[in-house]
């Protein structure tokens, strides 16, 4: 490829104490879909921020179309033909779709005319959008369309996508990929960042791997397996999760006929949920986001109380007990939202350990905090779960998403629960850390605990769970053994098909 669209040479950027990018060089050809791979904290975000003009490199050069390219701010990048779709949407909820699009453009036309253009472009690329709707009322997938359409209206030569699929349903992912392929055929280059290696293998032409701020290799993602790609990122051989050593014991947790009204106006209500969880079992619960996952976790953790007799641990009725009494009985939970739900963002890791740990760990004495013990507990979590942080006195919000996730899961696992309920345990976590978290959950089950994993990552659920159930509009399907479940059947379960075969008995054989 002689003519390169973007050529980065020796880009270096350091922050106090961290060398985020160390002499990174990269070339992207027109129309190429180029993957940028790396663990959390490998420097991917810093690199794309430099390309998009949000961060200035300390040294190194960038060339766009064989001309020097030094964007001082995103506007300059946009007018040079570089557009970006952010990981956390940069949208304004109270404004309409058209207004949001206008804000991302340099010289937008009149709103009426813009609305017509939005309709045109969005249907042309198979992403229909109503320009007059308020963004706050849109689904995650539709919000992303707004961002993409905003970029497309400016005829970008290079489109940067930072983890675009993490909030999308499988169907939405397919639509997105069709759009991206169409764009690539029309000559737009795409720089694609994702943790989902299978996606990269289906979508991308070339991959550049970053580790510790340095380029450690290039790869043809189609020629490699996901495992090989992950090992390139980690720089070490990747362990496969080990399911062995688990024996299913007597039933531990019984949920019977659980009905709960919706938390929010738009959320689903839980409708007669039944489930039985046995010692040593990992139950995977799949489903598209917003079908009752948060509601189910809240009902199990004790955040929301349910009618008497609906949640039973062994022979005890926990339905009317709040989170702390339930912790005492052995049910722990790690909710999906890390900042603000699972952890208090402004408080240190030590304090965050005390917040859930004090019931099962001796972290307080006569109502006073035992700081030495609490700090030790926090340090244990950090050490055993490989949380990358300077120490337990760092505020939770200072950790990257993946690191905080490891901390949150570790905090619950180390309290040796009888039943652990986790929602999206590996969301936004890199491959190596995700494997570690999954292994920790399996090990916990091998020690005789029971684990409920709520996740949207079906591969993850198939990898670690014994039985699989699907949540659809607040209804939980009957659990089926994962050993004899095909992806097609799972798809039907996720779609809410109730008239499938009677639930397969949970055979011991399936677990060996």
Partner 1 sequence: MIGGIDLTTLAAMLMVASTPVLLAAIGELIAERAGVLNLGVEGMMICGAVGGFAIAVMTGSPVLGFIGGAVSGAALALLFAVLTQVFLSNQVATGLALTLFGLGLSALLGKGFEGVRPPATAKLDLGPLSDIPVLGPVLFSHDWVVYLSLVLVVLVWGFLKYTRAGLILRAVGESHDAAHALGYRVIAVRFGALTFGGACAGLGGAYLSLVRVPQWTEGMTAGVGWIALAIVVFASWKPQRVLVGAYLFGGITALQLQLQAAGYAIPVHLLSMAPYIITILALVVLSAVHGRNAQAGPAALGKSFHASS
Write down the least CB distance from residue 428 to partner 1, Å: 18
**Cβ contact 310:255 at 8 Å:** yes
Q: How far is the CB of 53 from partner 1 (least distance, A)?
A: 7
As measured in angstroms, the least distance from the Cβ of 155 to partner 1 is 18
Using CB under 8 A as the binding rule, the residues of this chain from 54 to 93 that contact partner 1 are 54, 73-75, 78, 86, 89-93
CA distance 447 to 439: 12
Q: Indicate the length of the chain as a whole number.
A: 512
Q: Which of 248, 297, 216 is nearest to 471 (CA)?
A: 297
Query: Which CB sits closer to partner 1, 78 or 375?
Result: 78
Q: How far is the CB of 77 from partner 1 (least distance, A)?
A: 8
CB of 214 to partner 1, least distance (A): 24
Which part of the chain contacts partner 1 (CB under 8 A), choosing from 39-47, 98-106, 300-308, 378-386? Answer: 98-106
Distance of closest approach, residue 16 Cβ to partner 1, in angstroms: 11
**Both tokens assigned to 200:** 């990269």
**Angstrom distances, CA of residue 143 to CA of 115, 127, 410:** 16, 11, 33
Nearer to partner 1, 149 or 450 (CB): 149
What distance in Å separates the CA atoms of residue 84 and residue 190, rounded to the nearest whole number? 10
Residue bearing tokens 């007990």: 321
**CB 171, min distance to partner 1, A:** 27
Phi, psi (deg, nearest 5) at residue 375: -65, -40
* Dihedral angle sign, alpha carbons of residues 352, 295, 246, 315: positive
Nearer to partner 1, 103 or 500 (CB): 103
* CA distances, 415 to each of 2, 136, 411, 419 (Å): 58, 39, 7, 11
Q: Give the number of other CB atoms < 10 A from CB of residue 128.
A: 12
Q: Which long-range contacts (CB under 8 A, 24 or more apart) does 101-104 make?
A: 101/131, 101/146, 101/149, 101/150, 101/153, 104/78, 104/147, 104/150, 104/151, 104/154
DSSP string, 122-175: HHHTT----TTSBGGGS-HHHHHHHHHHHHHTT--SEEEEESTTTT--HHHHHH
Binding mask 19-58 for partner 1 (x = CB under 8 A): ----------------------------------xx----
The Cα–Cα gap between 164 and 154 comes to 19
The DSSP letter of residue 354 is: H
Nearer Cβ to partner 1 (15/371): 15
Q: Please report where in the chains the tokens 């690329």 appear, as a residue.
A: 125
Q: Looking at 41, 81, 104, 221, which residue binds partner 1 (CB under 8 A)?
A: 104
Q: Report the residue number, 112 or 367, with the smaller CB distance to partner 1.
A: 112
* Selected binder of partner 1 within 103, 132, 262, 346 (CB under 8 A): 103
Q: How far is the CB of 177 from partner 1 (least distance, A)?
A: 25
Q: Tell me the DSSP string of 41-95.
A: TSSHHHHHHHHTTSS--SEEEEEETTEE---SSHHHHHHTTEEEE-SS----TTS
Question: How near is the Cβ of 146 to partner 1 at its closest, in Å?
Answer: 12
- Residue 403 vs 477, nearer CB to partner 1: 403
Task: Give CA–CA dist 181/205, Å, rounded.
Answer: 11
Is the Cβ of residue 86 or residue 177 nearer to partner 1 in the bound state? 86
DSSP, collapsed to helix, strand or coil, labels residue 193 as: strand
Cβ closer to partner 1: 67 or 94? 94
| Residue 210: CB minimum distance to partner 1, A | 22
Nearer to partner 1, 28 or 135 (CB): 135
Strands (E), 424-486: 450-454, 467-472, 475-476, 480-481
By CB under 8 A, the count of residues binding partner 1 is 19
Q: Toward partner 1, which CB reaches closer, 66 or 346?
A: 346
Closest CB to partner 1 among residues 104, 330: 104
Q: Both tokens of residue 260?
A: 């709960």
Instruction: Pick from 38, 108, 425, 428 the residue near partner 1 by CB under 8 A.
Output: 108
Contact 480, 468 (CB under 8 A): yes
Closest distance of CB 56 from partner 1, Å: 13
Q: Which of 19, 80, 95, 478 binds partner 1 (CB under 8 A)?
A: 95
CB of 159 to partner 1, least distance (A): 15
List 468's β-bridge partners, or say none. Answer: 284, 480
99 lies in the binding site for partner 1 (CB under 8 A): yes
Q: For the chain, give me the number of helices (H) and strands (E)?
A: 16, 23
CB of 324 to partner 1, least distance (A): 31
> 37 or 97, CB closer to partner 1?
97
> Judged by CB, which is closer to partner 1: 81, or 357?
81
| Interacting residues with partner 1 (CB under 8 A) | 53-54, 73-75, 78, 86, 89-95, 99, 102-104, 108
């Amino acid at each position: 490829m002689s003519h390169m669209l973007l050529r980065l040479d020796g880009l270096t950027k350091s922050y106090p104490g961290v060398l985020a990018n160390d002499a990174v060089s990269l070339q992207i050809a027109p129309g190429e879909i180029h993957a940028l791979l790396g663990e959390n904290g490998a420097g991917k975000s810093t690199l794309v921020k430099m390309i998009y003009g949000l961060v200035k490199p300390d040294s190194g050069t960038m060339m766009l179309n064989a001309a020097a390219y030094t964007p001082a701010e995103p506007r300059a990048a946009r007018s040079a033909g570089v557009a970006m779709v952010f990981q956390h949407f940069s949208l304004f909820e109270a404004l309409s779709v058209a207004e949001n699009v206008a804000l991302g453009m340099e010289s937008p036309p009149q709103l009426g005319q813009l609305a017509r253009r939005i309709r045109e472009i969005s249907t042309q690329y198979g992403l229909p959008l109503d320009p007059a709707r308020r963004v706050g009322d849109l689904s995650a997938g539709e919000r992303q369309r707004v961002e993409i359409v905003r970029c497309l209206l400016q005829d970008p030569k290079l489109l940067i996508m930072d983890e675009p699929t993490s909030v999308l349903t499988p169907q939405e992912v397919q639509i997105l990929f069709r759009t991206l392929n169409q764009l690539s055929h029309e000559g737009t280059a795409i720089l694609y960042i994702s943790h989902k290696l299978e996606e990269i293998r289906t979508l991308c032409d070339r991959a550049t791997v970053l580790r510790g701020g340095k380029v450690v290799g290039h790869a043809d993602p189609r020629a490699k397996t996901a495992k090989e790609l992950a090992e390139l990122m980690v720089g070490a051989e990747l362990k496969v999760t080990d399911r062995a050593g688990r024996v299913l014991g007597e039933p531990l947790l019984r949920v019977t006929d659980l009905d709960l009204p919706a938390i929010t106006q738009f959320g689903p209500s839980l409708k007669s949920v039944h489930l039985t969880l046995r010692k040593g079992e990992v139950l995977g619960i799949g489903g598209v986001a917003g079908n009752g996952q948060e509601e189910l976790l809240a009902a199990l953790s004790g955040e929301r109380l349910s009618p008497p007799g609906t949640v039973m641990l062994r022979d005890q009725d926990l339905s009317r007990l709040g989170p702390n009494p339930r912790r005492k009985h052995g049910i722990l939970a790690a909710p999906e939202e890390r900042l603000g739900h699972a952890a208090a963002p402004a408080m240190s890791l030590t304090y965050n350990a005390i917040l859930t740990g004090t019931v099962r760990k001796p972290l307080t004495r006569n109502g006073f905090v035992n700081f030495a013990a609490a700090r030790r507990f926090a340090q244990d979590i950090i050490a055993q779960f490989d949380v990358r942080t300077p120490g337990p006195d760092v505020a939770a919000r200072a950790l990257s998403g993946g690191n905080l996730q490891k901390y949150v899961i570790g905090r619950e696992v180390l309290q040796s629960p009888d039943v652990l309920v986790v929602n999206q345990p590996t969301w936004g976590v890199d491959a190596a850390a995700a494997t570690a978290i999954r292994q920790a959950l399996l090990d916990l089950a091998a020690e005789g605990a029971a684990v409920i994993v709520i996740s949207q990552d079906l591969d993850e659920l198939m990898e670690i769970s014994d039985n699989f159930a699907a949540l659809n509009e607040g209804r939980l399907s009957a659990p089926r053994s994962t050993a004899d479940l095909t992806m097609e059947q799972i798809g039907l379960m996720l779609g809410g098909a109730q008239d499938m075969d009677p639930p397969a008995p949970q055979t011991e054989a399936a677990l060996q």
